[in-house]
Amino acid sequence: MPPSAQLLDGKAIAQQVLAGTARKVEHLVRGAGRPPCLATVLVGADPASVTYTRMKRNRAESVGMISRKIELAHSGTTSDLLRTLDELVRDEAVDGILLQHPVPPGIDERAAFEAIGPEKDVDGVTLHSFGAMAMGLGGFQSCTPGGIMRLLAAYEIPLAGRHAVVVGRSPILGKPMAMLLLAAHCTVTICHSRTRDLARHVGDADLVIAAVGRARLIRGEWIKPGAVVVDAGFNEGNVGDADFEGCLPRASWITPVPGGVGPMTIATLIDQTADGMGRRTGICLDGIGAQP
Ligand code: NAP
């Protein structure tokens, strides 16, 4: 039988993370008399975004948190959104704010992210969180890269000295991913739409992170034998950015799509919400669940 990559099972590891988060929530309830509260803000009614925000609230509630659902009309303006976010920032009962993105065209997404402020930025989207994370100063991690790091750690994938190739450089995925891998002592290459000879770069990688949004862009024959493939892509038809079947005979480990990166993203958001309440209230969560 030809060799076949082993699966990095994000669904299973996310359940483990959330079990730890549930213990943090119990501790916070004992200390503060209330559970953490995650507010989800959705602008418009994009079907995928509606599903994602519902999944995030459901996961929050599954570990004993409170969730608050805020929906604004597609026709809402940047100032409507900034006003809503400002109210949530001031609300002492809210510990974390998730602004589901992308927001509709015409809304200033960066201004909206910045309105969340560092304290309640449990999705890790503000400039402050990015800077603190990049400098190793403990900012909230952007949830998808943060979730990928937790998944790699759970399977004890060695990182120090390895060559990681991140394909994609978006502010919420590719860029923070590269920073977290650099902090883990990888040698990091970042590829993007202007990169020449993507196949050659990917072929040189010990670890490939696909974060593009193009179905099956990363081909199996590009993968160096024994490399680890993490596919953050999620495209129409539940297809990732890597050709899963083509990668299987060459990779040593690979994430399935779905069931790989997606559940880890949500688990990281929920866990960071518990950590956020711990920081705001001064309740120590050391030794409980996953550590920030
Ligand atoms: P994005 O903002 O559209 O960024 C895509 C990146 O890919 C850009 O940096 C772009 O380069 C690069 N790119 C585009 N075409 C390329 C090509 N042919 N070769 C090399 N690079 C190319 O997307 P994103 O928000 O980062 O999301 C990427 C994927 O991850 C999507 O499938 C999305 O659905 C998925 N995602 C999954 C989760 C999850 O929880 N599983 C969370 C977030 C996103 P330029 O910068 O040069 O334009």
pLDDT above 60 for 32: yes
CB 191 near ligand 1, within 6 Å? yes
pLDDT in tens, 147-165: 999 999 999 999 999 999 9
Q: How far is CA 3 from the centre of its chain?
A: 30
pLDDT in tens, 167-219: 999 999 999 999 999 999 999 999 999 999 999 999 999 999 999 999 999 99
Comparing CA positions, the residue from 253, 233, 209, 211 lying closest to residue 8 is 253
Q: Which residue's CA lies nearest to atom 31 of ligand 1?
A: 213
DSSP letter for 191, please: E
pLDDT in tens, 68-110: 999 999 998 999 999 999 999 999 999 999 999 999 999 999 9
Return the ∠ at Cα 259 (arms to 175 and 224), rounded to 5°. 60
Distance 209 CA to ligand 1 centre (A): 11
How far is Cα 286 from Cα 282, in angstroms, rounded to an integer? 11
Residue 191 phi/psi, 5° resolution?
Answer: -110, 155
Q: Which residue's CA lies nearest to atom 34 of ligand 1?
A: 234
Q: What is the 3-state secondary structure (H, E, C) of 157-189?
A: CCCCCCEEEEECCCCCCHHHHHHHHHHCCCEEE
Comparing CA positions, the residue from 235, 215, 127 lying closest to residue 176 is 127
CB 264 near ligand 1, within 6 Å? no
How confident is the model at residue 1, as a pLDDT? 57
pLDDT above 90 for 269: yes
Pocket test of ligand 1: the residue of 192, 198, 261 to mutate, having most ligand atoms within 8 Å of its CB, is 192
Sheet with 37-43, side-by-side order of all strands: 66-72, 37-43, 96-99
The domains located in the chain, with CATH, are: 32-117 (3.40.50.10860), 143-262 (3.40.50.720)
Distance 97 CA to ligand 1 centre (A): 23
Distance 56 CA to ligand 1 centre (A): 21
Residues serving a catalytic function are 56, 100, 123
Distance 187 CA to ligand 1 centre (A): 21
CB 261 near ligand 1, within 6 Å? yes
**Cβ-Cβ contacts under 8 Å for 272 (sequence gap 6 or more):** 96, 122, 123, 124, 140, 141, 143, 146, 292
Question: For residues 232 and 209, is the Cβ–Cβ distance under 8 A?
Answer: yes
